[in-house]
Amino acid sequence: MSTKQIDPSLIVNEDTHRQAILKRFHTPRPDWYEKLFALLLAKCLKAYEPEVAGYKAELFSRLRGRVNKVLELGIGTGPNLKYYAGDGDVHVYGVDPNKRMEKYATEAAVAAGLPRTNFNFIQMVGEALPVSDASMDAVIGTLVLCSVQDVNLALQEVKRVLKPGGLYIFIEHVAAQDRTALKFLQKLLDPLQQIVGDGCHLTRQTGKLISEAGFSDVDIKMASVSVCFLVKHHIYGIARK
């Protein structure tokens, strides 16, 4: 019996293509930066997560027992996994451009009760999700559209990979109201924030972009998060393909 060998050039070409996409949509960072950012994010979320726990419990209750394949866009350190990953035979595809997030996300998946074989971390960007059309029951994105380069393209990718009737669950910080002191401060600090926050923008009208992305149904609610004054204005909700 012969074993078919994989052409090494195919592997090289695929990796080269992936790296080209990463470079196009995510400014390359030194390894020390990615490692430090992942560490700081894990620490900062310890104060943030308790304040948004109620919103997340409300949103993720829609998934429990109803999904098999879930893609989490910008999975980061995996704080959402505990809300849905340990329920039934769920397979999670965690996408993030920062490869240093894999360690934290994998630990979070294990802590949530997700079998190791049911979790895949994929280093990639939201503008080119590495899964097939109409293959996901749900896509999750929390605090991620602030930092993708092309929000509209990322939202079209979310729609592409969702099955008909599939759910997109989101929580995002958004710009403050016009002609307020906070909006002025956000505009002033936005360039610096993009540097220290791995591409995070402070002034995006993300709710408007989601509403206009072409989902069949969108339910958006407003929230205020006191622990993060600069980005205290949040939206959260569910969109259906």
d(CA 29, CA 91): 29
Domain 30-240 falls in which CATH fold? Rossmann fold (3.40.50)
pLDDT at 17: 82
Query: Burial, 210: exposed, middle or buried (Cβ in 10 Å; 0-12, 13-18, 19+)?
Result: buried
- According to the model, what pLDDT value does residue 13 have? 56
User: Between 31-60 and 101-111, two packed helices, what is the crossing angle to 10 degrees?
Assistant: 30
Q: Tell me what pLDDT residue 16 has.
A: 83
Taking the CB of residue 55, how many other CB atoms lie within 10 A of it?
17
Q: pLDDT truncated to tens, each residue of the chain (241 aa)?
A: 333 443 333 334 577 888 889 989 998 899 999 999 999 999 999 999 999 999 999 999 999 888 999 999 999 999 999 999 877 789 999 999 999 999 999 999 999 999 999 999 999 999 999 999 999 999 999 999 999 999 999 999 999 999 999 999 999 999 999 999 999 999 999 999 999 999 999 999 999 999 999 999 999 999 999 888 999 999 999 999 9
CA distances 83 to 30, 72, 150, Å, are: 32, 12, 28
> E strands along 97-161, which residues?
119-123, 136-142
Q: What is the pTM of this model?
A: 0.90
